[in-house]
């Protein structure tokens, strides 16, 4: 990439992250639909073919099949920039690359949970850029995780909204289990997560009610569980929740075999390691 590319100079980069399960790319259509929507929402869709990107995904896995086999399952990142000019005269720059997944960290999150910190960092307002767009302009996530790491090592930091409700973290959408229902943040407040969508579909098939509402601190305090959903780890749960001043405001028991959390985890697709999505 030339240093004049706006992806480098201004951080204008649309991104999509996928992963393999059983060494096959998972939910490719859903991810590329979201990637196409991101490109449209930031005015950068003129010359990017989703069919071409899907072929690149297949090609890069085939070219690196020995490494992929050693890794068991891998992450896949797709990104695009406007190129050298806002007018796109030089053409959109786009690429696909593979990345390793920390399978031990995934195992720990799924079985033992992860600490969550409610940070002081706010989501950028929707009139800055659409929250439905998955982009590499992620300084707010970095600052949230920086604060959360200073409070609880290995935690993920949740962004607050302008009205002090809670939205998402750098790696996960959130849902609360309240009275055996799933409570998600309003769809216009967060990134439309692919894993979150799959969890909702499984919940619907199991007769579990889902609803969207503002997630307030008081709601977290009375929840039975907090679920976390993201590409690399799939579906996991919060073990404890801390505020931005370093106070633990909620601890959750590890889910039992008959809990709603375990029911959902068990119903998710299986990976090559035998762990649920």
Flag whether pLDDT at 45 surpasses 80. Answer: no
Number of C-beta neighbours around residue 95 at 10 A: 13
Q: How far is CA 88 from the centre of its chain?
A: 29
Each residue's pLDDT tens digit, 119-150: 999 999 988 889 999 998 889 999 999 999 99
Comparing 30-44, 69-83, 85-99, 133-147, the range with the smallest average pLDDT is: 85-99
Residue 271: pLDDT band with limits 50, 70, 90: low
Domains and CATH numbers, the chain: 6-101 (3.30.470.10), 107-267 (3.20.10.10)
Flag whether pLDDT at 90 surpasses 70. Answer: no
Answer with the residue of higher pLDDT: 258 or 202. Answer: 202
Comparing 143-147, 154-158, 260-264, 266-270, the range with the smallest average pLDDT is: 266-270
Task: Check residue 7 and give its pLDDT.
Answer: 87
Flag whether pLDDT at 277 surpasses 60. Answer: no
Burial class (CB within 10 angstroms; exposed 0-12, middle 13-18, buried 19+) of 101: buried
Task: Check residue 2 and give its pLDDT.
Answer: 81
- Region 83-98: mean pLDDT is 79
Residue 151: pLDDT band with limits 50, 70, 90: very high
Comparing 7-21, 80-94, 101-115, 152-166, the range with the smallest average pLDDT is: 80-94
Each residue's pLDDT tens digit, 182-230: 999 999 999 999 999 999 999 999 999 999 999 999 999 999 999 999 9
């Amino acid at each position: 990439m030339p240093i004049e590319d706006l992806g480098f100079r201004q951080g204008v980069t649309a991104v999509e992250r996928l992963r393999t399960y059983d060494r096959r790319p998972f939910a490719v259509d859903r991810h590329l639909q979201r990637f196409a929507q991101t490109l449209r929402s930031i005015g950068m869709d003129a010359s990017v073919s989703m069919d071409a990107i899907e072929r690149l995904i297949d090609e890069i896995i085939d070219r690196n099949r020995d490494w992929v086999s050693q890794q068991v399952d891998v992450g896949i990142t797709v990104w695009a920039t406007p190129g050298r000019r806002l007018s796109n005269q030089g053409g959109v720059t786009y690429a696909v690359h593979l990345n390793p997944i920390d399978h031990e960290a995934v195992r720990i999150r799924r079985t033992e949970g992860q600490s969550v910190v409610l940070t002081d960092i706010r989501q950028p307002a929707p009139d800055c850029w659409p929250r439905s767009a998955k982009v590499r302009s992620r300084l707010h996530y970095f600052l949230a995780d920086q604060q959360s790491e200073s409070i609880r090592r290995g935690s993920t930091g949740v962004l607050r909204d302008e009205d002090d409700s809670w939205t998402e973290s750098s790696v996960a959408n959130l849902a609360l289990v309240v009275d055996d229902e799933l409570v998600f943040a309003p769809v216009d407040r967060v990134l439309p997560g692919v894993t979150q969508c799959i969890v909702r579909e499984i919940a619907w098939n199991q007769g579990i009610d889902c609803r969207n509402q503002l997630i307030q601190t008081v709601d977290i305090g009375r929840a039975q569980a907090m679920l976390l959903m993201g590409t690399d780890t799939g579906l996991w749960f919060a073990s404890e929740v801390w505020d931005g001043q370093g106070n633990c405001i909620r601890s959750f028991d590890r889910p039992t075999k008959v809990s709603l959390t375990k029911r959902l985890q068990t119903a998710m697709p299986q990976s090559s390691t035998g762990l649920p999505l």
